[in-house]
Structure 1
Amino acid sequence: MTKDARSVRGKRIRTACAVALTLAVTATAGCTGESGADDETVTIGLISSLSGVYKPVGTETRDGFKLYLDTHDGKLGGRKIDLKIADEGDGPPTALPAAKKLIKKDRVDVLTGVTGGGSVKAMLPLVTRNKIPLVGSNARPPVKDGEYVWHTSFMSDEPGAAIAQHVKDEVDGPVYAIGPDYQGGHDEMRGFTTAFEKVGGELANPDGKTTWTPFPKTTNFAPYFAKIARTGAKAVYCFYAGKAAIDFVKQYAESDIADLPLYSAGFITEGSVLPAQGKTAKGIYSVLNYSADLDNEANRKFVSDWTAKHDAPPTSYAEASYDAAATLDKAIGEAAKKGEVNSETINKAIAGLGKIDSPRGTWEYSEKTHTPVQQWYLRQVRPDGKQLANVVVKDLSTLGS
Structure 2
Amino acid sequence: MDNPAPRPIVSPMNQDSDILIAGGGLNGPVLALALARAGFSVTLVDAAAPAARLARFDGRAYAIAASSRRMLARLGLWDQLAPQAQEMVEIKVTDGRAGEGPSAWWLHFDSAEIEEGPMGHMVEDRHLRSALAAALKATQGVTLRAPAKVVAQETSAGGVSVTLDSGEVLRAGLLVGCDGRASGTAARAGIRRNGWGYGQSAVTCAVEHELPHKGIAHQFFMPGGPLAILPLTGRRSSLVWSERTPRAERLAAMPEAEFLDALRPAFGNFLGEIGLVGSRGRFPLGLSLAERFTARRVALVGDAAHGLHPVAGQGLNAGLRDVAALAEVLSEARKHGEDAGSALVLDRYARWRRFDTTVLAATTDLTTRLFSNDNPLLRLARDAGLGAINAVAPLRRAMIREAAGLTGELPPLMR
TM range (shorter): 0.3 to 0.5
Considering fraction of residues, name the structure with more strand. 2
**TM-score with structure 1 length normalisation?**
0.33
Which structure has more relative contact order (CA 8 Å, sep 6+)? It is 2
Higher helix share: 1
TM-score, structure 2 normalization: 0.32
